[in-house]
Structure 1
Amino acid sequence: MSSMTTVHDVPAPRTGDDGPRRAGGSRAFGVLLVITGLLGVFASGIITMDKFHLLEDPSYKPACSLNPIFSCVSIMQSDQASVFGFPNPLLGLVTYGIVVCVGMSVIAGARFPRWYWLTFNAGTLFGVGFCTWLMVQSLYEINRLCLWCMLAWTVTILMFWYVTSFNVRNGFLPAPKGLRNFFAEFTWALPVLHLGIVVILIFTRWGANLWA
C-alpha cells in the first residue's frame, strides 16, 4: 500500500448491505485532523488577538500586514469579517477546536456511527463553503489578503476532502465503485487541485504585484 493511502479508515464489521454502521479512522487520519484543527485554532487565535489590539488602538499594525495587498487590517475592518455579528475567528476557535477533539478520538480508537460522520462532514462542507465565500470577498471585493486567513482556508480544504473521502470509502456517502476506488488511491489529488485553483486565482488577480 502506498504512502498516499495511510489515512484510510480502520475496517469495521458490516451489519448490512449498506456498509458498516460504525467506523473509526486510521491513526494517520486522526493526526491529520488534529494538525489541521490546531493550525486552524492557531490562525483564528492570532486574528482574534490582532482584532482586539486593533479595537484598542486603531493605528495598530499586525505583523501579517506586509504590503498594500497582504493587509490584515483591511480584512479585519471589513463588514465581511463579522458576518454573524461577531468576529469570524471566534467561530473558528470553536469549530477548529471540535476538529481537534474528533481527531484525538480517532487516534484513541473511537468508532462513530454514520450520522456522526455525516454531521462532521456537513460541518466541514459549511466550513469550506464559508472559506470560499471569504476568499472571493478578499480577492474581488476587499481586494486584500490576510496570511492567517489563507492558512485557515488551506486547513479547511484539507479536512473537508479527507473527511469526505472517509465517508465515501465507508459507504456513508453513496458513490459508485469507481469513485470509491479513486478516493482510496488518490484522495490527496482533490485537495491539491482545490488549493492549486486558489493559488491560480490569487496570481491571476495580482500577479507580481503580490510582492510589491
Structure 2
Amino acid sequence: MPRTLTGGRGFGLLLVLTGAAGLLASWVITLDEFKLLEDPGFVPGCSLNPVVSCGSVMKSDQASVFGFPNPMLGLVAYGIVICVGMSLLADARFPRWYWLLFEAGCLFGVGFVTWLQFESLYRINALCLWCCLAWVATILMFWYATALVVREGLLPAPGPLKSFFAEFGWVLPVLHIGVIGMLVLTRWWDFWTS
C-alpha cells in the first residue's frame, strides 16, 4: 500500500488562512477589473498615490499574461488551497504523488508572483496592495509546503536540510518576505522619505 501523509492541522490552518487571503485579493481585483472594463476612467479604491496604484497595475499587459485577468487564475488556485487545508483539518491523508503535485503548484505560484513582483517594481513602477497580499500568502504556502515535502522525505534531501526544515522552517518565508519588503523600500525610497 502506498504511503499516505497528513500535513497536520497546523499546516491545514495555514493553508486555509493563506488561501482565504489570496482568494479575497483575487476576488477584489476581479471585481475591480470588471468595473474597469465597464468604465475605463474607474479608479480602484486601493489606488492611493503614484506608487500604490492598483489601477496602473490592472491596466498593464502583465495583468493578463495568459490572455485573461491574472486574478481569475487566483480564484481557482486559492480555492484549491482552501480545499486542501480544510481536508487536512478533517485529518485527511494524501499519497506522495498528491503532495508532490501540490508542491509543484506552489512552486508555479511562487515563480509567477516573483515575476509579477519584478514587473511591478521595475516595469510597471507601481504596487497593488491586494497583489501584495496575494504575494505574501503565496510565499508562505510555498515555503511551508516545501518544508513538509522535504521534512517528510517526499523529496530526496540530505539529513541536515531535513533537520533545518523541521526546526527552522519559518526562517525562509520570513527572509523571502523581508527581501521583497526591502526591495519595495529601496525602489521607492525617495518617495517614502519625501
Q: Answer yes or no: is 1:179 the counterpart of 2:161.
A: yes
Residues 122-157 of structure 1, C-alpha deviations (whole Å, 9 max, x = no match): 000000000000000000000000000000000000
For 2:193 and 2:54, the matched residues in 1 are separated by 15
Which residue of structure 2 aligns with residue 101 of structure 1?
83
Residues 48-86 of structure 1, C-alpha deviations (whole Å, 9 max, x = no match): 000111111112111110001101111000000000000
Q: Larger % of helix: which?
A: 2
Contact 1:22 1:114 in 2 (8 A): yes
Which residue of structure 1 aligns with residue 104 of structure 2?
122
Q: 22-31 or 156-165: which moved more?
A: 22-31
- Provide the secondary structure at the position in 1 that maps to 2:6: strand
- Provide the secondary structure at the position in 2 that maps to 1:28: helix
**AA matched with 1:147:** L
How large is the RMSD of aligned CA atoms in angstroms? 1.2
Q: Any runs of at least 4 consecutive aligned residues in structure 1 with deviations exceeding 6 A, and if so which?
A: none
TM-superposed CA distance for 1:121, in Å, is 0.1
Which residue of structure 2 aligns with residue 63 of structure 1?
45
For 1:137 and 1:107, the matched residues in 2 are separated by 36
Q: TM-score, normalised by structure 2?
A: 0.97
* Distance verdict in 2 for CA 1:62–1:210, change over 3 Å: farther
**AA matched with 1:84:** F
TM-superposed CA distance for 1:210, in Å, is 3.8
Unpaired segments ≥5 residues, structure 2: none
Unpaired segments ≥5 residues, structure 1: 1-14
- The number of residue pairs the alignment matches comes to 194
Residues 11-60 of structure 1, C-alpha deviations (whole Å, 9 max, x = no match): xxxx8xxxx82100211110000000011000000000001111111121
**AA matched with 1:155:** A
Identity %: 64
Which residue of structure 2 aligns with residue 202 of structure 1?
184
Which residue of structure 2 aligns with residue 140 of structure 1?
122
